[in-house]
Amino acid sequence: MFAKPKPSSDLPGRPRFDPPRGARPHMRELPKIWAGRIVETFKKPYVAPVSALAVFAIAAFAFLNLAGDPDAASPSVRINLAKDKAQVASAHAATGDSQAGMQSFTLDSLGLFGDASADTFTDPDASPVQGTAVITLPGDDAAGTMPAPKFTVSPLPPAPIAGLTQTTDNGPLPIIAPNGQTPASAYARPFKGDGRPMVALVVGGLGLNPATTKQAIEQLPPQVTLSFVPYVSGLQGWIDQARAAGHEVMIEVPMQPTNYPDNDPGPQTLLANARTDDLIGHLNWALSRASGYFAVSNYQGGAFFKDKAGTTVFLQNLKNRGVSFIDDGQARGLAGAWGRASADRIIDNQINSTAIFAQLGGLEATAKSRGSALGTGFAYPVTLAVALKWTQGLDAKGIQLAPASAMTHQ
């Protein structure tokens, strides 16, 4: 008939029950006893607010470590880095590496990138990690390391070349020289075809990561065209280094993508339906960042290329200044500029070595059937490592590596 008294209660007017000293409460009563003690503890001055502050600090620290990334703008990768071959072999054995039989080598052994990538790349905005990264490349049965390639470097003339620059308050602008010489021809890498099918490769996004950019300049074949971001500090210095290593260079012009402004390429973006003066001003800003480039390339632009009036102004201004335009395939069919070319493939839409090799194989097939092919890629370390290995095998396949300027037409 009567309910058993509760050992403890927080209800108003109900006395707290504590077992007699020395008595052992029933096991079922212990959680309620401890709960009551905890409540009494938090009733003491400052205990509750201090505890709440501590919980908040721990939660904020965890969130920043998991979600925050002050280097999120860097196009690099976060991976677990292998320290030596023994550890790599042990890890592969322990995990049952499904890519057994493929060639593995470290980027350090190539002399390429200390903050590099892996086939498991998933986040192009992750922060860089210093150390040795392991990339597994398909196509070879023997595992080992590859030596850094050696090239015969023929430096290109330092920029600016006399007569090709207009001095402005914002910086140098390219112009056609009085003798008719253009930046498109003067700053391009000299090239002569030998009758074999030709492939060209543009690597973009350079300058964002100084260490990666320096190694790309020094290690990639000089026939590979390098494309630099206009926002980079010290851009002229990077272009000077690239030309000294034999690379022709381009500058990327930010253009409005289809999902703008959620996806914002940055300041001075060429916007669809913009006023002509604004469009020319933004273009001239990009063109005045440095000198020594033979062409510009697009950074995004899905929406901008649908603006017929805007693209006409853009291309006509490039033509008037003697500068070529090479796009990533989005502007195919648009005529203008001093010289034009559109990429046949973006080689690293899928950022893993197997997919990149497949895209490069597609370029080879296009070159053999059509005579030439042009590919573009971003300066992901895995892209550069694969590109290096790919270029080393082109001669054996009867294919000639050419600079991108060789693919342009007026």
pLDDT digits (tens, 9 = 90+) for 239-261: 999 999 999 999 999 999 999 99
In a domain, 62, yes or no: no
Q: Which helix (H) or strand (E) holds 112?
A: none
pLDDT score at 148: 57
Would you say the pTM of this structure is higher than 0.75?
no
With a CB cutoff of 8 Å and minimum separation 6, the contacts of 71 are: 127, 128
In a domain, 352, yes or no: yes
254 with 286, same domain: the answer is yes
In a domain, 159, yes or no: no
4 with 115, same domain: the answer is no
252 with 218, same domain: the answer is yes
Instruction: Report CA-CA distances (Å) from 23 to 18, 20, 27, 30, 40.
Output: 10, 5, 12, 12, 21
The pair of three-digit structure tokens given for residue 117, joined into one six-digit string: 């990538």
In a domain, 65, yes or no: no
pLDDT of 203 strictly over 50: yes
Amino acid found at 293: Y
Q: Report the distance separating Cα 311 and Cα 250, nearest Å.
A: 19
Longest dimension (CA), the chain: 113
pLDDT of 74 strictly over 70: no
In a domain, 370, yes or no: yes
With a CB cutoff of 8 Å and minimum separation 6, the contacts of 189 are: 156, 222, 223, 225, 246, 247, 248, 403, 405
In a domain, 63, yes or no: no
Instruction: Report pLDDT digits (tens) over 303-351.
Output: 999 999 999 999 999 999 999 999 999 999 999 999 999 999 999 999 9
124 with 232, same domain: the answer is no
179 with 326, same domain: the answer is yes
Measuring CA to CA, which residue among 297, 284, 318 is closest to residue 170? 284
Measuring CA to CA, which residue among 135, 128, 198, 188 is closest to residue 348? 135
User: Is the Cβ–Cβ distance between 285 and 270 less than 8 Å?
Assistant: no
Helices H / strands E in the chain, number of each: 11, 13
Percent of the chain with pLDDT over 90: 61
Q: What is the DSSP letter of 404?
A: G
- Average pLDDT taken over every residue of the chain: 78
User: Higher pLDDT residue, 179 or 89?
Assistant: 179
175 with 90, same domain: the answer is no
In a domain, 141, yes or no: yes
Instruction: Report pLDDT digits (tens) over 338-389.
Output: 999 999 999 999 999 999 999 999 999 999 999 999 999 999 999 999 999 9
In a domain, 156, yes or no: no
Q: Structural domain of residue 108, as residue ranges?
A: 72-148
